[in-house]
Structure 1
């Protein structure tokens, strides 16, 4: 089926940002796991704490292929905030990122997936990508993202944002460069001025959750989450942190209880990954959003983000052939041209047969 005329874009399509993906090292527990464990003199105790306090869930990931090896690596990172508090349900954050590390382990690509991306959910139909969790839990979420990206996922990490809140306190705050001033929170709201700010505790949690304060909503929230995680990674990687056993122990204790992982992702695996990526440098890390053509409405009335099918095909090919650097460079140039000219790639029609409606307060 062909689609109605392409919907008008809302806000801006974010360009790939090189270096920002250092954030994912932390969010995937590759900093708290790999870097901290591998660099610390107290690896055994930290590893015991990690393996004892993490929550393990069934994911359907092939345990044989997920075992540590020297091939390429794909880790799905889901960020959630499912606690009940003062904030409205619409403000709850759910973040989806796919971390792709080529076989050389000298590059890293972090792909943010918009939660309202309109995709095919296996055995369900067309729906927003984050509804896969409601229909079939983590196994269906993984299967859906594998179908979207063409990547075989080796591991999954789910991080409750409460963990980030407590981690910022353990770090003594996280410094970021805020793009624009805004407020967040319905009760005793937090204010975030433009420029360099230091985040800690509830203020940090609100910063990564807020979207209603921005014209482009989730696009800006994704960017803020990347900035926040980059700030955490910077704090964790600081030499003053890595040489401070008390601080390291405090971070692991604060973070691990909020971590859910697949069956095979333990401390030993994290250490092995960290050691295998010892040549990875920030300049070789790239962060970008899964290609999309903007926002619109399905025939059934759902507000969604349209995937850029043509670019997704190119991305799958690039991952298979080890040419992600070239793909990202071309994508960046194309998006910049579209932004300058005010044009966008044509989108395909959303199928008229949509998946059943899911609860509005569903989060990953």
Structure 2
């Protein structure tokens, strides 16, 4: 039993106050949870942030909701694919904006709807940085076996195997994992988080929706209003380019909120977000919770500042027959291919800002 305090002996801290050791323990636990959260977020362009954090406690919940796709159905035949990387990791995120019900989403199969969103998530070999690159859905590229077409047509013609084959040919880099997300599910995800904040670069009035005006500056988005923000393109002179940028802003806002202390420290909020996210996600079977946990540990040294978002450079728009398309910037794409090969994508992105 501790001695009674005297005039010369400092009284022990009240039990209600944390000791230095307990604070260190909580900080380590919080840091571990936060970084595990970030890792799983990489799988679905950072939307899955809390799933990795709760992989042990929420395994049954996540496992019940999450849809997995056999590798033989997700990836093309091995012949002709780029060699596997020994360090860096590339994850393809495909998002649908079809307005269909979740049960009818089937982007992995040939003949299904085209993807509204295509993003490449690149984790550097030293796990010090994660780059999220949007690919314009109307990019005019070579689709193996079909000739020139919009890049997202590859999904309709051959499911994720052809989409991956098309992007690997374009980028010269192997795609290690694929995640398919129901973009309409973003509405329920933002609601489960109690809303997310984005810094809107320009005021606009959307062409659809009940609450259509979005002022410039920091705004809070939740539910259907978040979806209206992410879908709009007709209100902008740059059309799809700004829509892609706004999708990146929303995803960044979701990530920031998902790894906040308010969510990570609240078991109910954590479970609600994990449930809503996993309901709307399909991943290849190779990306297991164990694999996510391993990636989480590798990413333990970075926080939100270690993530960046950008759009693959293009050469503007044009017409192919009666189709409006986005042109490939051949010179920039050659530099991009080299950056992916050399694992210098962060430097490549910085060069775009300097230009």
Residue 326 of structure 1: which of 347, 350, 354 is its match? 347
Structure 1 residue 69, shift from structure 2 partner: 9.5
Residue 138 of structure 1: which of 160, 170, 179 is its match? 160
Structure 1 residue 25, shift from structure 2 partner: 6.9
2:154/2:163 contact within 8 Å kept: yes
**1:82 has 2:94 as partner:** no
Supply the distance in 2 between the matched residues of 1:32 and 1:324 (Cα, whole angstroms).
22
Aligned CA distance change for structure 1 residues 30 and 96 (closer, same or farther; 3 Å) = closer
Which residue pairs with 1:267 in the alignment?
A: 289
Q: How many residues align?
A: 300
1:184-203 aligned at under 5 Å gives the runs 184-186=206-208, 188-203=210-225
Q: Matched residue of 1:153: which SS?
A: coil
Structure 1 residue 27, shift from structure 2 partner: 6.7
Taking structure 2 as the reference length, the TM-score comes to: 0.77
1:163-187 deviation line (CA, Å, top 9, x unaligned): 2110111111111111222222545
Larger Cα-atom Rg: 2
2:44/2:93 contact within 8 Å kept: no
Cα RMSD, aligned residues only: 2.7
1:24/1:229 contact within 8 Å kept: no
Supply the distance in 2 between the matched residues of 1:215 and 1:129 (Cα, whole angstroms).
22
Supply the distance in 2 between the matched residues of 1:209 and 1:229 (Cα, whole angstroms).
13
Taking structure 1 as the reference length, the TM-score comes to: 0.76
1:61/1:154 contact within 8 Å kept: no
1:1-364 aligned at under 5 Å gives the runs 26=41, 28-29=43-44, 31=46, 33=48, 35-40=49-54, 43-57=55-69, 58-60=73-75, 71-84=87-100, 94-186=116-208, 188-298=210-320, 300-334=321-355
Structure 1 runs of 4+ with >6 Å offset: 22-25
Aligned CA distance change for structure 1 residues 322 and 187 (closer, same or farther; 3 Å) = closer
Structure 1 residue 227, shift from structure 2 partner: 0.7
1:50-78 deviation line (CA, Å, top 9, x unaligned): 22211223212689x9xx99721000011
Supply the distance in 1 between the matched residues of 2:345 and 2:45 (Cα, whole angstroms).
21
Supply the distance in 1 between the matched residues of 2:225 and 2:39 (Cα, whole angstroms).
21
1:47/1:268 contact within 8 Å kept: no
Task: Kindly indicate whether structure 1 or structure 2 has the higher relative contact order, using CA contacts under 8 Å at least 6 residues apart.
Answer: 1
Structure 1 residue 139, shift from structure 2 partner: 0.5
Q: Matched residue of 1:196: which SS?
A: strand
Q: Matched residue of 2:325: which SS?
A: strand
